[in-house]
Amino acid sequence: MKRVMVLCVAGLMASTGVAMADGSTFLQTAQADAGRFTVLFPFNKSTLDADALAVIASAAQEFQRTGSARISVRGHTDTSGSDAYNQALSERREQAVANELIRQGVPAGALTTEAVGESDPAVQTGDGVKEAANRRVEIAVELPPAPVAQVAPTPAPAPAAAPPPPPMKRDRIFSVGGFYGFNLEDEAGNTSHLGGLNLAVDVPVLPWLSVGAEQAGFYHFDTPNDGFGGRTVASLDLTMGDDDFRPYIGANIGYLYGSGFNDDFIVGPEVGLASGPFIAKLAYDIPFNRDGDEGIINATFGFRF
């Protein structure tokens, strides 16, 4: 008789436990491993009762105790109901837990929140299944890294002498191109033209300064004394930009000679541009035996190497 009574009591307790686990009005909360907390919600509910508040308080205390910088809140539902409805329900559950964490002293800026509806169940089920373990909000407290033992630093070796700076790159730039000149006054006092070929070399001496030399050979025409001539000059230029796009401005000094000229020294300004494989120059040569407005405008366009 006693044995029968014991069995009856045990059966009654077991059936009561199952009913409590499956009841739609029972809010189940649980704490998992360190730093992770889970709040389980009744069917179709997003409100918090005393048990839920206690678990959230434990998560807030863990956040404060560990000195963590981040705490995440992730809301879920089971698969009963439509996707859209479950997404909204998971958002309400996630927001309820986040608001309570803030009320318990967790800074809002430390919270990251997410609601995923029924897309990430704790227990895999078919569609339309009421599963209590899936009606949850997960709280994760990001634990700070463990302190690293301080090791006495080893004395640094005596600094080695700094190596000398590398020499400045001074690549010579060779160029060849067509040459054209417009002579404002020939020997007869008229204008004339020059056409030919120009060879040049430029050598950087500073990042912003270069020296160069040019030799032009040309034919002097449209003048009473047509014939061949030459232009030999040295230049000093201020450069800008880089090797891919380098404009410059400077001055020439040299000698002009040939048919149709009173051979003499020349001086004058020049501007130019080197870009990629191309080079272009424009100069104004003033012979020493002429006035400043009686010079020669010459231009070169060619290729550099």
> The domain that contains 300 carries what CATH number?
2.40.160.20
Burial 196-208 (b: 16+ CB within 10 A, else e): bebbbebebeeee
Percent of the chain with pLDDT over 90: 54
CATH number of the domain encompassing residue 62 = 3.30.1330.60
Q: Residue 90 belongs to what domain range?
A: 27-141
Structure confidence at residue 30 as a pLDDT band (50, 70, 90): very low
| pLDDT (tens digit per residue) in 254-270 | 999 988 888 889 999 99
Please check whether residue 179 lies inside any domain of the structure: yes
Lowest-confidence segment of 66-80, 107-121, 148-162, 279-293 by average pLDDT: 148-162
Q: Mark which of 121, 141, 161 sits at the end of a domain.
A: 141
pLDDT (0 to 100) of residue 9 = 33
Structure confidence at residue 159 as a pLDDT band (50, 70, 90): confident
Q: Are β-strands 192-206 and 136-141 bridged in parallel, bridged antiparallel, or unpaired?
A: unpaired
Please check whether residue 168 lies inside any domain of the structure: no
Please check whether residue 214 lies inside any domain of the structure: yes
pLDDT (0 to 100) of residue 261 = 81
Task: Compare 272 and 25 and report the one with higher pLDDT.
Answer: 272
The reply to whether 116 and 191 lie within a common domain is: no
Q: Distances in Å between the alpha carbon of 2 and those of 5, 8, 9, 165? A: 5, 10, 11, 101
